[in-house]
Structure 1
Amino acid sequence: MADDPHEIFAQWLVEAQAVEPNDPTAMALATADGAGTPSARMVLLKGHDDRGFVFYTNIESRKGRDLAANSQAALLFHWKSLRRQIRVEGLVEPVDEGEADAYFATRARDSQLGAWASDQSRPLETRALFEERYAQAKARFEGSAVPRPPHWSGYRVVPHRIEFWNDRTHRLHERRLFVKDGDGWREGLLYP
C-alpha cells in the first residue's frame, strides 16, 4: 500500500477516470472571505503533482476575491461510483504566469473568448449583454490567437492535510489521513 498521498491520489484519479460517467476531475472548492464567510462551488482539477492541486478561474470572481483575503481553502473529490472521496486542505498560491499562459492556450477558443467576455460572479443585467460582450471579444480577436486575459489565472492548493475515505458496509468506513510533517507526511487513521 502506497504511503505517499500524492501517489494514492493519482491512482484513485485514474480509477475514477475509468468509471465516473461525468467529470471525474470535478471537485468542490471551499473558500472563505476575510470575515470567515464560507462559500463552496464545483471547479475542475487541471493539474496535480507533489506541489499540489491546480485549478483556473477569473481572479476577480468571488473565489478569487476570497483567496486574496484568505489563502486557505479545502477541496473535496467525490466519486460516487467508486464510493470514495478525498478531502484536501491547504494554503493556496497563484500559479506562475508561464503555467497559466500554457494552460490557457489549450482551452477551446470559445472558452478563451468567454474568459474575456465574463465578469465572473458579478451581477449581470441580461443574458443578451453577456452574449454581446462575447461577440465583441470574438470580433476583437478574429484571425489571431486569443491571449490570456490579465484577470484570468490559476491557483495551486498546497496541501497540509489529505484524507482518503472509502465507503464500507454498515457505515464502518475507512478513513486514512495524511498530515504534512516537515518534508514528509505523517499517516494515521480516523474513526468513521
Structure 2
Amino acid sequence: MRVGYGGGIPPNVGDGDRAAGADGVRDNLDPSWLRGDPPWLDLFGVWLREAVEARIPEPNAMVLGTVDPNGVPNTRTVLCKGADASGVVFFTGYDSDKGIDLAANPVASVTFPWIALERQVHFRGAVVPVGPEDTETYWRMRPRGSQLSALASDQSRPIGSRHELEAKAADIAARYGGLDGDDPIPVPADWGGYRLEPARVEFWQGRANRLHNRVRLSLIDGIWQAARLQP
C-alpha cells in the first residue's frame, strides 16, 4: 500500500494531473510535503521504508559521486548505513578511490534510485569523516566475514588474480580464528565512515508522459527553502 501526501486532488485539475506514476500515489509531489527539521528527513524516511516494503533489492543503495584530484567526476554504488538530521553516512577505505577523492575535494552527491517505484532522492553537500566511536560501533555490527574481507583488502589497489585475493583473505581469516572464531577483529586503521551533510536535497516522482514532479530543498543562510522544478 502506497502512502499519499498533501491532501486530496486539487480542484480544476486535468486527467494528466490525476495520473499516478509507478509509485501508486495519486497525489502529485508538492513542496508542502516537506516539513520538519530538517524538512527532507521525514519524507526521505517514508520513501526509504516504502522501498523496503516493496522489496526493492538493496533499498539503501545509493550512487555516490565524488571528484578526483584532477577534477574528474567518479561514481559508484555504495550502501547508506545511516540517515538522520545531520546527513547520510557510508563507510569505505580512506585510501580507496573514494577516500582519495574526498581528501582532495570533500564534497559529494548521492542518489537513491528507486526506479521500480519511479522515485529518486538526490543529496549534495560537504562530506566529513565520522568520529572513531561511530566507526567502531558500526564495525561491531558488521558480519564477521565482512570484517575479515575489509581487513584483507587494499581497497581500489590492483591485484594479480582472484586466487591471490582469496589467498589474502584466507590468511587474514586464519590469523583471527576463521569465520567461526571468537577473536575480535580490529577496525582497520585505513577504514571508516563519512557523512554527507546536505546543502541541497531533491525529490523526484515519476508521472505520466514524462511530466515528472521535482521538488528541491536548498539550505540558504541556514534556512531550508523549497521550490518546484520543471522536469
Q: What TM-score, normalized to structure 2? A: 0.81
Deviations 1:37-89 (A, max 9, x none): 11100000000000000000111110110001000100011111210001110
15-24 vs 59-68, which moves further: 15-24
More strand, by proportion: 1
Cα distance between partner residues in 2 of 1:116 and 1:51? 28
Is the contact between residue 84 and residue 166 of structure 1 (CA under 8 Å) also seen in structure 2?
A: yes
Aligned length: 192
Within 5 Å, which residues of 2 pair with 1:17-96?
17-96=52-131
Is the 2:56–2:114 contact (alpha carbons within 8 Å) kept by the matching residues of 1?
Answer: no
Corresponding residue of 1:160: 199
Say which one has the larger Rg: 2
CA–CA distance in 1 between the matches of 2:77 and 2:160? Answer: 24
Unpaired runs of at least 5, structure 1: none
Q: Which moved more, 1:148-157 or 1:178-187?
A: 178-187
How many Å separate the matches in 1 of 2:102 and 2:34?
32
What's the counterpart of residue 101 of structure 1? 136
Q: Distance in 2 between matches of 1:79 and 1:186?
A: 24
| Equivalent residue letter for 1:65 | I
**Is this contact kept in 2: 1:20–1:81, CA < 8 A?**
no
Letter in 2 for 1:170: N
Residue 217 of structure 2, aligned match among 175, 178, 183: 178
CA contact (8 A) 2:66 2:101 kept: yes
Give the AA of the match of 2:220: D
The corresponding residue for 2:171 is: 136
Distance 2:93 2:58 in 1: 20
1:76 aligns to what SS in structure 2?
strand
Cα displacement (A) at 1:129: 1.3
Taking only the aligned residue pairs, the percentage that are identical comes to 41
Provide the secondary structure at the position in 2 that maps to 1:156.
strand
Pair 1:121-2:156 in alignment: yes
CA distance in 1, matches of 2:168, 2:70: 33
- Structure 2: any 5+ residue segments left out of the alignment? 1-32
